[in-house]
Structure 1
Amino acid sequence: MGRCSVYSPSKPHSNRLLARLIGIDIATARRVVHVTTIRPVKVIGVVSIVDQPGVDCNSVDDMEAQKKKRRYSEEYIRCGFTVIIKDGTEMPQCVICAKVLSPAAMKPSLLQRHLHGCHQDLKGKDVDYFKRRETMLNGSKLDHSGSFHQSNKAALHASYVVALKIAQQKKPHSTGETLVMPCTKEIVRIMLGEQHAKKLDTVPLSDNTVQRRISDMSTDIKDQVVSEIKTAPLGIFALQLDETTDVNNCAQLLVFTRYIKDDDFKEDFLFCHPLESSTTSADIFELVNSFFQGEGLHWENLCGCTTDGAPAMLGSKSGFKTGVKAINSKVKHMHCMIHRQALAAKTLPTELKEVLDDTVKMVNFVKSSALSSRLFRLLCSDLDSVHETLLYHTEVRWLSRGNVVKRVFELNDELGLFFSCNDKKVTQVYLAKLNDPKWITGLAYIFDIFSRLNILNKSLQGADAVVTDAVDKLKSFQMKLKLWETKVKKGNFEMFEALAERQDISDQMVNLIVDHLASLQSDIKRYFPDVSEGILKLIRDPFHTDVASVNDEIQEEFIDFVNDSSASDLFEKESSLVRRPSQLGRDFESFYTVSGVREN
């Protein structure tokens, strides 16, 4: 059958061409051609064109498409597909993933391709299984178009996304219902119209719903972490525990974990649970043990545990450490190095302690009154000061001492002017302190030394921190303290920026600073006894570790490992060995755990 080209009533030859192609006379051809342009179509028959003058050739396309439409067959359920009707067109829908394919895919071969490609594990299922899945799928539909299922899925996804954002921003659960949803509706109504805004009514964001969403996501994350711990090389993992009190005065037990995944260390939050009554070692151990039993974790796979220095954690008779040791004697316990550093830096000589106490009292005097706070802020603003407010000191926040002293030192002149405008007796005492050169010199020193201690504390924090790094930083800081002590004795204060600017440093202050630096060195040594060199050497360079320092049960295996030339070559290429233990194979992972080394 021939095909028509472009026809136009203004072109007589077009009418003659049409007449010759389909076998009609010229007059009939003129009646047929009423459109400016006719797309190439397959001529179906003369009767349908001649009997309908002015017919559009697009209708011919529609007729042909109707003729080629495939119909759904009940046999297609064997391929895992049912049918939905959308705009009068049948479309195949997978009963497993609810995906809707185009009408052109209504062929057994294409349906089987989807089943085999996307659901390989279901290839051997019988027809009854797919019929049950079809019943379940139909139960979630509002009509045969499947629109309810698809829109409900999108609304559910949106609900989880909003709940995640609310949790990340630490906002009340009612924020979604009272703020997010109304604002979103207004934005959509203004930008897209009322019809689109009504679609947002299907997104559930009530406070109870947001709470459930957050709980579901939390449970899912916990399950993922527990699953990764169970599948970690050798199944070993370490814990870090801390008992703290939240803003509602409720005791909370926080537990973090570290394990090996994808040739690297991974740290993650394991769980948080309130301590309903007391916070004894028995309560803490029972809580952790219940979690282990419920999640299928084993104490035998625990290789290390880090806690603070509280008696409930490290008590020699009834502490959490003692309870763990009773189950697994190979677990290595460690007092948190950040906590030990804060304890070591806490001690001050009497004269410097008085300077710190006076500083805290000045801050409390200004901030305890709303009027004083406003007046001090206005004063700082008028003077174009670097800061406009003071900072509170909190004993449990280790870095706050340095931050409080720093702020007072930088606003020293503003504080003096503020106290001079107040005729209260206590303010005159504070003003005398600020005008005392000796007191200001002491303030400058504790500002400098606290800044150094805060830098050290921050360097010990963060992800991927390991004992070897902490030991290196502490040894370095001890050497710096010794160096500073020597320089101060010689009258060199260049390492302390604020103190170096003072021109009136007395010999008494020099001796006071020397005594404090010496005290810091002794306190650090007391809180940080030398870690076993065998452990550190095994981690840093296992190929030059003495075999005698390794436990008897793995000595022969260790000899095979250290004489493995391929492992030795890989060790030399690795620039960050401590952070990528599994690259040397599973043998090194067993030696890497500190449980495999004797304590000296």
Structure 2
Amino acid sequence: MTGRVSGLVTRVQNLAPLAKWTHCMIHRESLASKKMPECLETVLKQAVQIVNFIKACPLNARLFSLLCQKLGAEHEQLLFHTEVHWLSRGRVLHRLYELRSEVKTFLVNVRSDLAWYLDDPLWLAQLSYLVDIFERLNSLNTSMQGRDANILLLSDKVSAFVGKLDLWRDRLINKNVDMFPNFADCVQETGINIFPLINTVAQHVEGLKQQFGRYFTEDFSSFAWVRDPFICPGKDLPVDMAEQLVELKCDTRLLDLYSSSSLPSFWLSVMPEYPQLADAAVKLLLPFASTYLCEAGFSKLTALKTKYRNRLQVEDDLGLALSNIEP
């Protein structure tokens, strides 16, 4: 895609030199969260192995469902782990942790060696931490989705998460784990020695920060005036654009427009009066920060193109499905 000689980006820029490209920020977040200490990665693989043992065999899946019904469990099935579904790991681990007692009972009944993992307090504590951290990562992932997302908004969310990683690391140094509720409860229930675990968790948190720093290298501090042109100064702007920014700040009638409309709509509306300033702002806000809109289109198309439809032309139906206008 990004090859310098024959990649798609190069071919496009040969025809349109001013075209810009960016890596989907949601995909980058998913890539940054993959690397973890070996012991935690082993626990993740073993958890997936337990899920696959039950889910991959229809008989085991039915028997486990009946067991959950008999024991009055909140859920009746585990979830499959799918690598291409970025929220999958968090949901799979959370469901497994919720049904850990039922899973242990089932594995003991079928005499599986996998039941040993659920008897190990250290393994359960590591699993509970993975549940908490992936739940946090999933929350970040879902918060970055949406139709009106722009690169400034998503970069703010990533910066906030990196700031939380610093906060969590400092609290871990002080042996405080209350930011990970499942982990804290599991440690309290099992009564295991928390100090070796805290070192592993702190190592993972620090590694996450380094990975996020590797994948998110952009610095948008010089574009603070785009976020709020009435407060933030444009120190690095050329003199003509800086003068337009001063004029815009003093135009009090635009303050109500800024408060009542979205950021792209505001800059598009002031384009006739402040062309250079608005043009620079729109060029920053225009690129897609993620592939959310494309994925939403695929989802709608999948819902439309069922086996009961033999019509190949779905443009009109798809346009209606993707529209914000209620029919």
**Shared fold (TM-score greater than 0.5)?**
yes
Counterpart of 1:578 in structure 2 is 263
Matched, 1:568 2:251: yes
| Larger radius of gyration between Structure 1 and Structure 2 | 1
Aligned to 2:251, what secondary structure does the other structure show? helix
Letter in 2 for 1:494: D
- Shift of residue 422, structure 1, vs aligned partner: 1.2
Matched, 1:367 2:55: yes
Supply the distance in 2 between the matched residues of 1:350 and 1:443 (Cα, whole angstroms): 13
Q: 1:589 to 1:510 in 2, by over 3 A?
A: same
**Residue from 544, 548, 565 that aligns with 2:233:** 544
Letter in 2 for 1:493: V
Q: 1:577 to 1:540 in 2, by over 3 A?
A: farther
Counterpart of 2:46 in structure 1 is 358
Q: 1:523 to 1:584 in 2, by over 3 A?
A: same
- Report Cα offsets for 1:150-187 as digits up to 9, x if no partner: xxxxxxxxxxxxxxxxxxxxxxxxxxxxxxxxxxxxxx
Q: 1:402 to 1:445 in 2, by over 3 A?
A: same
Equivalent residues of 2:3, 2:9 under 8 A apart: yes
Supply the distance in 1 between the matched residues of 2:228 and 2:283 (Cα, whole angstroms): 12
Counterpart of 1:458 in structure 2 is 142
- Shift of residue 506, structure 1, vs aligned partner: 2.8
- Report Cα offsets for 1:370-402 as digits up to 9, x if no partner: 111110000000001010001000011110000
Supply the distance in 1 between the matched residues of 2:223 and 2:248 (Cα, whole angstroms): 23
Structure 1: gaps of 5 or more residues: 1-311
Letter in 2 for 1:562: L
Structure 2: gaps of 5 or more residues: 286-327
Equivalent residues of 2:29, 2:141 under 8 A apart: yes
Q: 1:333 to 1:367 in 2, by over 3 A?
A: same
Structure richer in strand, relative to its length: 1
- Report Cα offsets for 1:312-344 as digits up to 9, x if no partner: 2x2233222212222222222211100100000
Supply the distance in 1 between the matched residues of 2:80 and 2:262 (Cα, whole angstroms): 42
CA-atom RMSD in angstroms:
2.2
Counterpart of 1:500 in structure 2 is 184
Equivalent residues of 2:152, 2:220 under 8 A apart: no
Supply the distance in 2 between the matched residues of 1:351 and 1:382 (Cα, whole angstroms): 35
**Residue from 430, 436, 440 that aligns with 2:124:** 440
Matched, 1:408 2:93: no
Equivalent residues of 2:43, 2:123 under 8 A apart: yes
Counterpart of 1:383 in structure 2 is 71
Counterpart of 1:338 in structure 2 is 26
Q: 1:559 to 1:535 in 2, by over 3 A?
A: closer
Alignment of 1:452-531 (within 5 A): 452-501=136-185, 502-503=187-188, 504-531=192-219
Q: 1:505 to 1:325 in 2, by over 3 A?
A: farther
Q: 1:371 to 1:397 in 2, by over 3 A?
A: same
Equivalent residues of 2:271, 2:279 under 8 A apart: no
Supply the distance in 1 between the matched residues of 2:178 and 2:243 (Cα, whole angstroms): 53
**Residue from 586, 589, 592 that aligns with 2:281:** 592
Structure richer in helix, relative to its length: 2
Letter in 1 for 2:148: D
Aligned pairs, how many? 274
Equivalent residues of 1:373, 1:389 under 8 A apart: yes
Equivalent residues of 1:332, 1:595 under 8 A apart: no
| Identity percentage of aligned residues | 33
Please report the TM-score for the alignment, with normalisation by the length of structure 2.
0.78
Q: 1:453 to 1:323 in 2, by over 3 A?
A: same
- Report Cα offsets for 1:460-514 as digits up to 9, x if no partner: 0111001111111111111111111111121111111101112224321110000
Aligned to 1:333, what secondary structure does the other structure show? coil
Equivalent residues of 2:81, 2:92 under 8 A apart: yes
Equivalent residues of 1:441, 1:505 under 8 A apart: no
